[in-house]
Amino acid sequence: MTVWYAFRMRPKLKITGPGTHQQVRDAFMKETNPKRRRKLQTIRLGFMGEHTSEQIAQIVGCSKGSVTNWVRAYRDGGLAGLLETKYKQGRQPALGDAVVAELLEGLEQGRWKRIKEIRKWLADEHRIGLSYRGVHYWLEKLGACLKVPRKSHVKKDEGQSVRFKEGLARKLATLGIDTRKPFRLWVADEHRYGLISTLRRCWTLRGVRPCAPYHTKYQWGYVYGALEVMTGRSEFLYTPSVNLGLSLTFLRQISRSEPDAEHVVIWDGAGFHQKKQLGALPDNIRLIALPPYSPELNPIEQLWDQVAVAYANRAYETLDEIEADISTALRPFWESAAPVLSLLGANNYLLSSANAS
């Protein structure tokens, strides 16, 4: 027995309004956005009345549901309704503007040390239960990162540090510098190194604990360093120890680097640093002492951090070996002014004070 099946022909899509085919065609020719062009092309094919919805979807490259939605939008609102962009309202952020501002202020002040403390603060003071991952998201969003804090002595007078920076230009003006000569402003300090191994962070995979060679040999040396704020020059001197005599030797080295210039050297008030009242200073050297417990005012401290990384996580047998690696790290600074000026920073208070004086 033969069975015959009757198939109903799908009707072709026919659009008659609300606008005209010419209006849709003109809009299609002017449009540059790909998604909007697909919408307009769908309506153009619908005006022709030669294709079904399935065929139009295949030609345009979309689903049949999209064709149906676009045709409905055109019939209800014309070209404006078709091309209108509708965005769904996203969920509200977990932290409001006021809480975010308070979080940012707390981060600037160093109020919290761990994410656990931030979660407790949010729960206790704002009744917001945020997961560890959620707090981490907001910390990254606000530009926060995990850092090792710098030591700050409990005896430090913050106001004294502020007054030093604000009054440096006036202090330079009172030193009696001969303005007919070139003026050089130096920041100086010394770095201790030794055969006791120095450990620093290193990259490794999660779950793998890195190891570094280590031994204790009580032998050390020092490197004096000075950076010139205005020209980017640098001076270095290796010494077996630190004392008044060696500090004077280093000041004389700075003096001889440019004998016709007036040199002002800023360093801390260590007992082995030369003072003005001790005499024996070269005629073209002036000294300014930093406030007590304020190493952050001396940019050369950042250089010693880079030097320590150069010989970290290694075991040395002699001081000559470690000094070779230190010299490799320091070489860019005495060969070019660019690394020095980059370390000092364009907005450094020392440079602005030197220019003002």
d(CA 331, CA 320): 16
| CA dihedral over 301, 302, 307, 312, signed as positive or negative | positive
One digit per residue, pLDDT tens: the chain, 357 residues? 555 544 456 788 888 878 888 888 888 888 888 888 888 888 888 888 888 888 888 888 888 888 888 888 888 888 888 888 766 666 778 888 899 999 999 998 888 889 999 999 999 999 999 999 999 999 998 888 887 777 777 788 888 989 999 999 999 988 888 888 999 999 999 999 998 888 887 888 888 888 888 878 889 999 999 999 999 999 999 999 999 999 999 999 999 999 999 999 999 988 888 776 556 889 999 999 999 989 889 999 999 999 999 998 899 999 999 999 999 999 999 999 999 999 988 668 898 888 877
Under 8 Å between Cβ of 300 and 163: no
Q: Could you tell me the CATH superfamily of domain 159-356? A: Ribonuclease H-like superfamily/Ribonuclease H (3.30.420.10)
What residue type is assigned to position 112 of the chain? W
Instruction: Tell me whether strands 220-228 and 183-194 are parallel, antiparallel or unpaired.
Output: antiparallel
| CA dihedral over 177, 178, 184, 188, signed as positive or negative | negative
CB neighbour list of residue 275: distance below 8 Å, 6 or more residues apart: 287, 289
* β partners of residue 194: 220
Task: Please calculate the CA angle 344-347-348 and round it to the nearest 5 degrees.
Answer: 45
Long-range contacts (CB closer than 8 Å, 24 or more residues apart) made by 108-111: 110/149
User: Cα–Cα distances in Å, from 187 out to 14, 41, 85, 290?
Assistant: 83, 71, 60, 10
Q: What residue segments make up the domains of the chain, in order of their start?
A: 21-83, 97-141, 159-356
